[in-house]
Amino acid sequence: MSAVLFIFFVLAGLAVFGAAALILQSHPIHSALSLILVMLCLAGLYLLLGAEFVAAVQIIVYGGAVMVLFVFVIMLLNAGEEERTNFSKLASPFFGIPLALALGSLIAVALLRSTTQLPSPAAGGPLTSTRDLSKLLFSEFVYPFELTSFLILVAILGAIVLAQREHN
Amino acid sequence: MSAIAPYLFIIVPIIKILLLVFVVLTADAYLTWLERKVIAHIQVRWGPYRVGPHGLLQPLADGIKFILKEDPLPDGVDKKAYFFAPFLTLMLAVTSLGVIPFGPDITILGYKTNFGIADVNISLLALFAITALSVYGIALAGWGSNSKYSLLGGLRSSAQMISYELSLTLSVVGVLLMAGTLSLKEIVEHQFNPGIGFLGWNIIGFSADHAGFTQIIGCICFFISAIAETNRVPFDLPEAESELVAGFHTEYASMKFAMFFIGEYTAMIAVSSLSTILFFGGWLSPFPASWTWTHYLPSVLLIPFGLWVLFDGIRYETIFGRIVLPVLGSALTAAGAGLALYSPVNEIIQGPFWFFVKVFAALFFYIWMRGTLPRFRYDQLMDFGWKFLLPVSIANLVLTSAVILWRMHG
């Protein structure tokens, strides 16, 4: 087994473990921490595919900014452990497990039936340079890029307006 | 040599990592000594003086004390978060030093290697990624301790770090525009202007390709944000003694507290190294490249320092000091003389010497600020970050890009 494959399995295993822990743990902060683990493992996987920039941005944006906000809000609200109610006891065997099985089998069927072979990632090959990526982003994809930033700006303004209304 | 040659790519990094961890932990210990000494002298006191000559063994005594102290577990803590937080803080702080180049590439015994652990293309982004994660250490410590002081300290610190991360990142973009790369090594190499020495550094900005612009605004913004990111005075709100006992690490004792402490000092070293690289030319000498006599500066400076230690040691108060200090002084003098005479080593230490001089100056500045400035009020801190520092760093970014565009087309 090559080193790259070994690292892939370690990271993938950790990511799956983190995702399972995210659902199974009852305390919101522990769930948030498990989600951070998943994000970091995904960043590692991107790095394995030769996408340095995407990996770093994955950690900065998702691992850093987004999840810090999650943790911050959970801490601020001082949310306690979730409790099992009568409804939640019924919900998992009658809705959760069947739906999860349905989704899982759907993905499994789609994966098994697909015949197209993905090109193998450049393992140990040349890395996608940040310069190439930014050139593409600011020439070919400049309109989608600018529109996305505009959308985010509008979202920020919306959040501020909503918060102000609450304040008054 | 040839038998281990295929494995050198894994052996050399391991040696480097062990060396770096050792050097950094020692540097942290003596940074606490330096801080106490400098602040003491600012406040017209003597500082540590009892343990060893000039208190030089104080860090060792502190270390032993940290290990031997009782480590109580407060009631009702969230065990996972409580135990994980100090490890995370220390781990991230030490990791961040792994991407910093301390000098130009060196060749030892015919093996060429970079002067640092990892030479990554995106080292600056990697560093920011690590900084982005370091909030968790403090936030988790504050939340996991089950104490209102810790929680308030942790909350304050998270808000503060999120706010100042923006201006920290934006103040660097000007440098990136000039260098056109995210690699710290290439950023330093870009500041190399053989004819004019330190005028080529980003803080002055006469770069060799004539497309530079002074980054003094960016540098000031970076340094202020960096102080806030490392939770140091005057931005040490997370551990404001008069309001929060000790903030996020109120409930920590013994080695776990020491890990926060070491983490903070390592983060200081990392941030000082980063500002050295980004704005003060990293390992570059401040003199023009043709002044080769300045290559003897490191060794020549070592000789008078050694002689001074020797002279001070002869009339020191305790017998122990009268033995240790002269020996130390003679060793330093001999090392200086040896370096001056043996030129291959003298050439190798040029880069690291200037790098460490600049980092030392930055660290001294940190300590100086702690000795001089009072603490901010929390709302002032937030106002300053969002309403002053962030707009100024954005303005610096716009100005720098305008100048670069104008120079490119004009």
A64 CB neighbours in chain B (<8 A) are 129, 131-133, 135, 165
User: Would you call B125 and A71 a contact, using CB atoms and an 8 Å cutoff?
Assistant: no
Q: List the CATH number of the domain containing A15.
A: 1.20.120.1200
User: Mind spelling out the 3-state secondary structure of chain B?
Assistant: CCCCHHHHHHHHHHHHHHHHHHHHHHHHHHHHHHHHHHHHHHCCCCCCCCCCHHHCCHHHHHHHHHHHCCCCCCCCCCHHHHHHHHHHHHHHHHHHHHHCCCEEEEEECCEEEEECCCCCCCHHHHHHHHHHHHHHHHHHHHHHCCCHHHHHHHHHHHHHHHHHHHHHHHHHHHHHHHHCCCCHHHHHHHCCCCCCHHHHCCCCCCCCCCCCCCCHHHHHHHHHHHHHHCCCCCCCHHHCHHHHCCHHHCCCCHHHHHHHHHHHHHHHHHHHHHHHHHHCCCCCCCCCCCCHHHHHHHHHHHHHHHHHHHHHHHCCCCHHHHHHHHHHHHHHHHHHHHHHHCHHHHHHCHHHHHHHHHHHHHHHHHHHHHHHCCCCCHHHHHHHHHHHHHHHHHHHHHHHHHHHHHHHHC
B87 CB neighbours in chain A (<8 A) are none
Nearest chain B alpha carbon to A132: B181
Domain ranges in chain B?
Answer: 64-290+342-409
Side-chain half-sphere exposure of B194, counting CA atoms within 13 A: 3
User: Is the confidence at residue B205, as pLDDT, over 90?
Assistant: no
Tens place of pLDDT per residue across chain A (168 aa): 677 888 889 999 999 999 988 888 888 888 888 999 999 999 998 888 877 888 888 888 888 888 888 888 888 787 777 776 777 777 777 888 889 899 999 999 988 887 776 666 555 455 567 777 888 888 888 999 999 999 999 999 998 888 887 655
Domain count, chain A: 2
Range of the domain at A69: 1-81
And the tokens for B378? 């929390």
Asked whether the beta carbons of B320 and B351 are under 8 A apart, the reply is no
Asked if residue A151 belongs to a domain, the reply is: yes
Q: Which of these, B91, B114, B96, B102, lies nearest to B9 by C-alpha position? A: B114
**Binding-site residues on chain B for chain A (CB distance < 8 A):** 78, 80-81, 120-122, 125-126, 128-129, 131-133, 135-136, 139-140, 142-143, 151, 154-155, 158-159, 162, 165, 180, 182
Asked whether the beta carbons of B264 and B363 are under 8 A apart, the reply is no
Give the global pTM: 0.85
pLDDT band at B206 (very low <50, low <70, confident <90, very high): confident
User: Would you call B122 and A60 a contact, using CB atoms and an 8 Å cutoff?
Assistant: no
pLDDT in tens, B34-85: 998 998 989 888 888 888 788 888 888 888 888 888 888 888 788 888 888 8
ipTM of the complex: 0.76
B81 CB neighbours in chain A (<8 A) are 29, 33
Q: Which H or E run contains A30?
A: helix A28-48
Asked whether the beta carbons of B225 and B389 are under 8 A apart, the reply is yes
Which residue, chain included where needed, has tokens 């640092």? Answer: B116
Residue A65, min C-alpha distance to chain B (Å):
7
- Looking at A12, A46, A81, which one is the last position of a domain? A81
Asked if residue A96 belongs to a domain, the reply is: no
B80 CB neighbours in chain A (<8 A) are 30, 33
Asked if residue A25 belongs to a domain, the reply is: yes
